[in-house]
């Protein structure tokens, strides 16, 4: 089924080139289908690549998906044209009365700053509270996951001795969880972060289920038993070249940056990087959309009456 997005999004043409069908709002109104409504809070400075990466995954579904994007109103973006945001993005006041089947909160390059010192932290807290009654299932990744774990459960983050950068393997701890249906016993996911959560605190939080982990790098995917919240410490959405772009950017700036691990054949950065997580990324988002489709009330306003996650 096609994915329904704003006509002005830069990702639309590229999605068409890749055979992912989009649909405009006028045509969608004439289809006798209630699409899954997904809201994405895009916290990344370069918003257009993140749009394309997420829409590529959400569009690979037999379900019709309607996607809205929003951005923080309390932080002025310096990497995206304000007119583009005005045309294609909402701010909180414009969506606060809406209800969504699913909500995605992205990462952000603020992980080395204390949560309370992030200039848009008060707005993040507003979104976290709003999600309890206006979105059935919320998917948080990377800094978005760290921030939500801290807000809801008091899980602290810590600075790593060195940046976790590359493609890393994790093992399933709940092999039959619907979010991981079809996964192998192990999978790969890109990492690009300087911080990690306190795993011991997660193990001691009964409201949280640990779905995957590794001995070397700790917990990767966490969920709540009612499927209302999922947390991914990593970037399934990254495409083949995303880590390379980050690596070359920092290298050009003269910053201390190592070759991404398990990424280039023989660690040779002149060769095409491996794309070892692609199938897992598509499967992960397919499974999440299926959970949302199966479990969200047909009347979205009924979400407010669903017993919220314990927290």
Known binding residue 240? Answer is no
Distance CA 115, CA 248 (A): 28
Residue given tokens 């999978």 in the structure block: 187
Side by side, which strands form the sheet with 186-197?
22-23, 3-4, 65-70, 36-41, 100-105, 135-141, 229-232, 218-223, 209-214, 157-172, 186-197
Give catalytic status of residue 237 as yes or no.
Answer: yes
Give catalytic status of residue 116 as yes or no.
Answer: no
Catalytic position from the list 134, 140, 227, 235: 235
Distance CA 181, CA 187 (A): 12
Distance CA 118, CA 70 (A): 18
Known binding residue 163? Answer is yes
Give catalytic status of residue 142 as yes or no.
Answer: yes
Known binding residue 249? Answer is yes
Catalytic position from the list 70, 111, 237, 309: 237
State how far the alpha carbon of 234 is from the alpha carbons of 73, 153, 157, 168, in Å: 25, 19, 14, 9
Catalytic position from the list 142, 177, 227, 286: 142
> Residues within the annotated binding site for substrate?
163, 192, 249
> Residues within the annotated binding site?
163, 192, 249
The residues that are catalytic are 142, 235, 237
């Amino acid at each position: 089924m096609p994915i329904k997005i704003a006509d002005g999004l830069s990702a639309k043409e590229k999605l068409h080139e890749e055979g992912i069908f989009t649909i405009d709002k006028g045509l969608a109104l004439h289809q006798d289908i209630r699409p899954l409504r997904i809201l994405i809070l895009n916290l990344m400075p370069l918003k257009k690549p993140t749009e394309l990466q997420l829409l590529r995954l959400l569009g690979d579904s037999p379900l019709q998906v309607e996607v809205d994007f929003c951005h923080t109103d309390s932080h002025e973006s310096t990497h995206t044209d304000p007119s583009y945001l005005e045309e294609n993005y909402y701010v909180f006041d414009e969506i606060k009365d809406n209800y969504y089947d699913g909500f995605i909160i992205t990462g952000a390059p603020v992980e080395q700053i204390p949560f309370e010192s992030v200039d848009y932290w008060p707005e993040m807290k507003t979104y976290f509270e709003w999600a309890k009654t206006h979105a059935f299932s919320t998917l948080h990744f990377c800094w978005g996951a760290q921030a939500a774990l801290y807000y809801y459960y008091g899980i602290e983050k810590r600075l790593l001795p060195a940046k976790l950068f590359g493609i890393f393997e994790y093992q399933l701890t709940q092999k039959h969880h619907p979010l991981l249906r079809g996964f192998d016993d192990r999978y790969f996911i890109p990492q690009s972060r300087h911080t990690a959560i306190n795993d011991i605190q997660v193990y001691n939080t009964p409201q949280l289920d640990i779905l995957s982990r590794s001995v070397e790098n700790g917990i990767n995917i966490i969920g709540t038993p009612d499927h209302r919240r999922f947390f991914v410490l990593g970037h399934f959405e990254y495409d083949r070249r995303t880590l390379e772009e980050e690596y070359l950017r920092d290298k050009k700036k003269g910053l201390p940056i190592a070759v991404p691990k398990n990424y280039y054949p023989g660690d040779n950065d002149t060769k095409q990087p491996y794309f070892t997580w692609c199938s897992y990324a598509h499967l992960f988002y397919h499974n999440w959309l299926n959970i949302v489709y199966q479990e969200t009330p047909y009347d979205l306003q009924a979400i407010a009456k669903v017993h919220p996650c314990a927290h």
